[in-house]
Amino acid sequence: MVLQTKLTKLVGIKHPVVQGGMQWVGTAELASAVSNAGGLGILTALTQPTPEDLRKEIRRCRTMTNKPFGVNLTLLPAMTPPPYAEYGDVIIQEGIKVVETAGNNPGEHIKKFKAAGIVVIHKCTSIRHALTAQRLGADMLSIDGFECAGHPGEDDVTGLILLPLAAKALNVPFIASGGFGDGTGLAAALALGAEGVNMGTRFLCTQEAPIHNKIKEQMVTATERDTSLIFRTLHNTARVFRNKVAKEVIEIERQPGGAEFSQVAPLVSGQRGKLVYELGDPDQGIWTAGQIVGLIKDIPTCDALLTRMVKEAEDTINKRLSTMIVSEAKL
């Protein structure tokens, strides 16, 4: 038995689980492992320093899996933005069939990807943004709740509210993102109208994730209270693992009059975050983690994780939920 949804049929995968794009982590090792396990692996375009490096990574991933995988292109505000159009050109030229977009207005990129026959899944943290992405032509939405790692938006609305709202408001299918990592969560997402789940933090804590094992062990021992929200006063909220650097950033933000980004920039640089994963020092810099860390208790292979998740979801649906429906005559 398998869980067949609009997601699995649209992108040609076995299980309704997507590995979200993650900076420094969405490489061929992890993406291929997720795809080989039956999910949809995702390469992170901006992890690669140039568009040509992305081309090489796509080709390297194809030597590691013959299953579908996609590419994430996150559109970030920056003084000197990356060459997004060139990254997009490589994605098209290399025949990628699925793209996950996130961040700023994806309109011009959606148009280009759709013209190339690519399925576009756009990640949103609010219904109003989801409706805009739907109007711009996204094939599917990824609805990202407040529980998520990274940027949850500024509305502070949880997935438990966003998902049923999305089911009522959207005409295109959607998947659930933020706070998912096991089979009961997958079953809940399906019950709330989603066609699958997107997971980032949970895939960080797998055998194939290309990060230091000490960071994975830190997540296993963490609780649901071990994340922090930074950049609140800068109106660019980010959920990260609670460590010394995150606490220092929050203290700076709490000073009278607030803080300028320049005051925290040396603490939150992407290169420092990269060193966290390379050196295994959880206090080297900031690193994103969602509240799902409280439910992570092991470091499985991607295959073992997805097999277990799907079985848990099926058992939840068949052995728990279905037994609650009884004839009134039996009451």
> What sign for the dihedral angle of Cα 164, 169, 172, 174?
negative
Q: Residue 297 pLDDT > 80, yes or no?
A: yes
CB 180 within 8 A of CB 162: no
pLDDT on residue 257: 82
- pLDDT band for position 21 (cuts 50, 70, 90): very high
DSSP-derived secondary structure for 182-210: SHHHHHHHHHTT-S-EEESHHHHTSTTSS
Buried b or exposed e, range 63-88, using 16+ CB within 10 angstroms: ebbebbbbbbbbbeeeeeebebeebb
64-98 per-position pLDDT tens digit: 999 999 999 999 877 789 999 999 999 999 999 99
Q: Residue 242 pLDDT > 80, yes or no?
A: yes
Q: How many angstroms separate the CA atoms of 277 and 257, rounded?
A: 34
- pLDDT band for position 325 (cuts 50, 70, 90): confident
Mean pLDDT, rounded, for 154-178: 98
259: exposed, middle or buried (C-beta count within 10 Å: 0-12, 13-18, 19+)?
Answer: middle
Q: Residue 331 pLDDT > 80, yes or no?
A: no
Q: What order do you get walking across the sheet with 17-19 strand by strand?
A: 17-19, 197-199, 174-177, 140-144, 119-124, 98-103, 69-75, 41-44
pLDDT averaged over the chain? 96
pLDDT on residue 258: 82
Q: Residue 330 pLDDT > 90, yes or no?
A: no
pLDDT on residue 1: 72
- pLDDT band for position 326 (cuts 50, 70, 90): confident
DSSP-derived secondary structure for 26-45: -SHHHHHHHHHTTSBEEEEG
**CA distances in angstroms from 239 to 37, 59, 111, 147, listed in the order given:** 28, 32, 31, 8
Domains, the chain, ordered by start: 6-211 (3.20.20.70)
Mean pLDDT, rounded, for 288-297: 98
pLDDT on residue 68: 98
Q: How many angstroms separate the CA atoms of 55 and 61, rounded?
A: 10
pLDDT on residue 175: 98
Strand partners, 124: 143
pLDDT on residue 10: 98
* 76 vs 164: which has the higher pLDDT: 164
196-231 per-position pLDDT tens digit: 999 999 999 999 999 999 999 999 999 999 999 999
Q: Which residue has the tokens 């895939």?
A: 203
Mean pLDDT, rounded, for 262-269: 94
Q: Which residue has the tokens 């994103």?
A: 288
Using DSSP's 3-state secondary structure scheme, residue 137 falls into coil
Mean pLDDT, rounded, for 290-299: 98
107-161 per-position pLDDT tens digit: 999 999 999 999 999 999 999 999 999 999 999 999 999 999 999 999 999 999 9
Q: How many angstroms separate the CA atoms of 257 and 1, rounded?
A: 58
